[in-house]
Structure 1
């Protein structure tokens, strides 16, 4: 019979935090990161596909806005359910299922002949995408040693730039190549359905989650594999004081605990940041290719500009990954959000090709660095028993903003053009900057395993 003592659970957590970075950590990081990149590729592709379908199918801006927004409706529902399911059934299983759902739905989108069916499939794509992202960040954070946990989550989030760059390359080379180019782009988006098998059978379950469910023997085997990679003896790990009982055992209890006095300010702050960042990010980046086309650039040239702007995401993540363990979570997040606010204004008033590219690259740099910091801090502010739920609901609130943003942007563009739209985005970044200071900074500290 496995040892179910609180001390054993505490020992497992302490041993995880004491580990150096190992090949097993690398496998978890890259395995989750590939799934993350495939997510980004799908979200990025729709911005290019919308620009093409608007011409091929003679769509009104309101219709193209709904093609973008309906996916975010699915993402909002998926994020809220995905976190709850991950706390109940495990991180790895939910991760794999979400990849399968959105991979199949994206592949099927290549066969559509009209807007109605595309909207239905985009909803299911969003359902899978929305559930996957908070689950993946929670999953990696529970493996990561305390000293480098924030850095690893920012590196995980950097895979978003890889996927978005892939979507920009597909948008530049594949979509304009033929009338059916957008269909081939959707077909490439079916890759996650196959990758789900790799996740399901190639990656271990989170030992922290296993221990929280009383499955200590399984958790022990995972930790021993990590220690074997690190060439450490299990007895060398430091002991820490016993953890307390899990705070919540049911879905309703987990939801209530998000608003307990201990977590209330964290929940309000993280929801505010997620809402504002989602509104500004998706409002801007989903519409940038279309805005450039409306400004008079042809599809190939506007897609080329978007590709250059996208490339600035990678150095943004790299700088955030370094600073998050030097400055801490809150300072790094607030600085990158403030940089995003300034860059948004500059992009809105840009009137030359050089200004468009420079301001767009600055917006990519700061905005995606902020995303990395946000994904790092979100799982850390909640204990293990409600970590998936807390991260999932924060993401779900953010998805509400990403539903609204693509619908609001055409109205803003009609009223005041790109300057008005990007001033609004800047205001949302500024609000997020202030809200970020209500978050708890756990740089270098052990995760709360209650």
Structure 2
């Protein structure tokens, strides 16, 4: 009887966490952190320009929203491009685009010029985020895939904290501090060179393009890399090498099951995903009957999480300033609140492989809703900081879980595109949120603003319940 050998993707799933995995995670994570730094900086720039350029709510709302217009378009186009020209190539190009545009923003002398450059920045940012998470997801072993993507998303907190520190020490320090802050945002343009040369292309993408020799070389690169954590399981090796000529014999059908995965496995749910992609790409594929429910759930979560998160955090320094705090104190509070994102990510990274994707995501969204309401009724500085820290903890933990679950909902042919469309639809909410905050604030002060955010988190939690549970299962091809 002819023996069968594992496919390349099965070989990747059987690997321990190696130094190559760490290199990919950190390399993608640095790009992610630079994204967050750019998005975070604009909230501090808005607070400074409100004073220096004497801008009203309308101009500030446009500055806060225009980048998200670009992100909405960029997320959709970036995902589609990544399914056609490769994850790594799109990742590098988007870093270059938004890095150069951010640096140029430092030279803006009018609101119009700043708006045009922020739109270009948004194009790059929106394209990059779903592509980076897809690349990491496609290399991560199934049993720890969710955890690694949450750790990737945790780099967002590092970047946002860097933005808060730059806001505190640079933006508030001098009249042109906001220009120096934006100039620092040009760093991603340089980092794009490393991404293009140092990170591997997705094996699944290479195979879908018939580039089997490159795919084999990429798998061997990970198989030959030393484990980061040597245990009894990894000491003897976990991968099975293919024949010497690099060709693979016909293997068994992918079961996708890991020894530590869920017993119910979600196996019945994986079949529709595999049946949905042939002959279709793009938007039609992800709304095929087999994928319609999970796409609906994803779009709900992405939309309402974007609305609540960006509405709150884009305006936070300005809202604190309007409540009577001076510029330096409002930035200082924001630094403290931002720091609470890190334990939120750490907790989500642990729970996502213990509880599963769906319960972790839904629980953190409910927690964010409760924290938003606490912020709405907070009446003292200590209450504001406490509620803000809880909001950071739960909202960013939810973001980590969402980025982990999104690529798992789709087969390889439409994975980046599906993730990009979900992110792009969500960015519509991030456009609306900064515009809605001044209206809500005038109608009912901070109470109405954060009560609306609490309601958005609750709707997002409902959307999370529509998602398929993929803990411990191989990605669909």
* Structure 2 residue 207 is matched with structure 1 residue 211: yes
> What pairs up with 1:305-384 in 2 under 5 angstroms?
305-384=333-412
2:162 aligned partner: 166
- CA separation in 2, counterparts of 1:109 and 1:349? 37
- CA separation in 2, counterparts of 1:82 and 1:417? 38
- CA separation in 2, counterparts of 1:106 and 1:242? 45
1:196 aligned partner: 192
- CA separation in 2, counterparts of 1:204 and 1:336? 32
1:241 aligned partner: 253
Structure 2 runs not aligned, ≥5 long: 227-236, 256-270
Q: C-alpha deviations, 1:415-442, integer Å up to 9, x for none? A: 1010000000000000011110100110
1:303 aligned partner: 331
* Structure 2 residue 78 is matched with structure 1 residue 82: yes
- CA separation in 2, counterparts of 1:249 and 1:109? 43
**Per-residue deviation at 1:176?**
1.1
- CA separation in 2, counterparts of 1:444 and 1:275? 27
**Per-residue deviation at 1:212?**
1.6
**Per-residue deviation at 1:249?**
7.1
1:258 aligned partner: 286
Identify which range, 231-240 or 416-425, moves more after superposition: 231-240
- CA separation in 1, counterparts of 2:292 and 2:313? 31
- CA separation in 1, counterparts of 2:281 and 2:182? 40
* TM-score, reference length from structure 2: 0.90
1:4 aligned partner: none
- CA separation in 2, counterparts of 1:356 and 1:253? 47
- CA separation in 1, counterparts of 2:224 and 2:242? 12
Select 1:275's aligned residue among 303, 308, 325: 303
1:448 aligned partner: 476
Select 1:28's aligned residue among 24, 30, 40: 24
- CA separation in 1, counterparts of 2:356 and 2:22? 23
Select 1:106's aligned residue among 91, 102, 105: 102
SS of match in other structure, 1:210: helix
- CA separation in 2, counterparts of 1:246 and 1:207? 21
- CA separation in 2, counterparts of 1:249 and 1:66? 42
Select 1:398's aligned residue among 422, 426, 441: 426
**Per-residue deviation at 1:367?**
0.3
| Conserved? CA contact 2:68–2:427, under 8 Å | yes
| Conserved? CA contact 2:99–2:189, under 8 Å | yes
* Structure 2 residue 177 is matched with structure 1 residue 184: no
* TM-score, reference length from structure 1: 0.95
Select 2:63's aligned residue among 56, 64, 67: 67
Structure 1 runs not aligned, ≥5 long: 1-6
2:151 aligned partner: 155
Select 2:459's aligned residue among 425, 428, 431: 431
SS of match in other structure, 2:406: helix
- CA separation in 2, counterparts of 1:379 and 1:282? 22
- CA separation in 2, counterparts of 1:170 and 1:193? 19
- CA separation in 1, counterparts of 2:103 and 2:415? 32
- CA separation in 2, counterparts of 1:420 and 1:37? 31
**Per-residue deviation at 1:253?**
3.0
**Per-residue deviation at 1:246?**
8.7
**Per-residue deviation at 1:226?**
0.4
- CA separation in 2, counterparts of 1:267 and 1:226? 32
Q: 1:246 to 1:98 in 2, by over 3 A?
A: farther
| Conserved? CA contact 2:21–2:139, under 8 Å | yes
* Structure 2 residue 417 is matched with structure 1 residue 389: yes
How many positions carry a matched residue from both structures?
Answer: 441
- CA separation in 1, counterparts of 2:162 and 2:194? 20
| Conserved? CA contact 2:87–2:135, under 8 Å | yes
**Per-residue deviation at 1:274?**
0.2
- CA separation in 2, counterparts of 1:218 and 1:38? 29
- CA separation in 1, counterparts of 2:376 and 2:96? 38
| Conserved? CA contact 1:247–1:385, under 8 Å | no
- CA separation in 1, counterparts of 2:21 and 2:302? 27
- CA separation in 2, counterparts of 1:84 and 1:246? 20
2:35 aligned partner: 39
- CA separation in 1, counterparts of 2:67 and 2:282? 27
